[in-house]
Chain A
Amino acid sequence: DTGVSQNPRHKITKRGQNVTFRCDPISEHNRLYWYRQTLGQGPEFLTYFQNEAQLEKSRLLSDRFSAERPKGSFSTLEIQRTEQGDSAMYLCASTFSTGGARYGYTFGSGTRLTVV
């Protein structure tokens, strides 16, 4: 297992288009998180899954954003009708926990989205 894998690494899209990102977590990890990071800021929580269940979603996530984790394996994050303000690095992280979140996240390298 080589860690958390995200693709694509970079995505340039025109405003109004839909985009989808994929994250493959570490296989033993049961929790998967999506964060967004803009330049000079800390990662901002978007949503997380425990196995295939989406347990929490940030209020910052508008109806244009949707995430799935079918069968508790890989996850996808879709943004519909992209806006310039969606330009950011989208980070996926996974961890293993049996109760409280006892271990650190392992982050992927991210997908950098540029909306033009």
Chain B
Amino acid sequence: GQQVMQIPQYQHVQEGEDFTTYCNSSTTLSNIQWYKQRPGGHPVFLIQLVKSGEVKKQKRLTFQFGEAKKNSSLHITATQTTDVGTYFCAGRPIGTYKYIFGTGTRLKVLA
């Protein structure tokens, strides 16, 4: 079946260090979305990428969609304690309107 994997599963960083999570799909995607889930909370939409090779930035966050539309990454520059949470990618396989969520990367930021 269709799967979306993320690495790493966990990441602990010192405040001010950079962080990257990688997302890989077993099938080609129409588009990909990223969500952040704080401990005890629900996923909150961050961004959507649609085009092959697309790069989008939101302040300290940089999102990339791979050329083959099967992988994506999220990079956070100079992490802050407010960045703590689990980051999920969610890919929409071609021909469907559902999103398959990745396994998530849990980020802890040490002050």
Contact = CB atoms under 8 A, between A and B. Distances in A.
A and B pair up: yes
Interface in B95-110: 96-104
Counting chain B residues whose Cβ lies within 8 A of the other chain, the interface size class is 20 to 34
Contact of B97 (A43, A55, A106, A107): A55
B33 interface: yes
Interface stretch (B11-19, B39-47, B73-81): B39-47
A85 interface: no
B30 interface: yes
Q: Which of A31, A33, A35, A55 is packed against the most chain B CB atoms within 10 Å?
A: A35
A104 to B, nearest CB: 3
A65 to B, nearest CB: 16
Given A43-B43, A107-B44, A101 B97 contact: yes
A109 interface: yes
A96 interface: no
Contact of B101 (A40, A42, A102, A104): A42
Nearest to B45: A104
A33 to B, nearest CB: 7
A27 B35 CA distance: 22
Interface of A: 31, 33, 35, 40-45, 48, 50, 55-56, 91, 97, 100-110
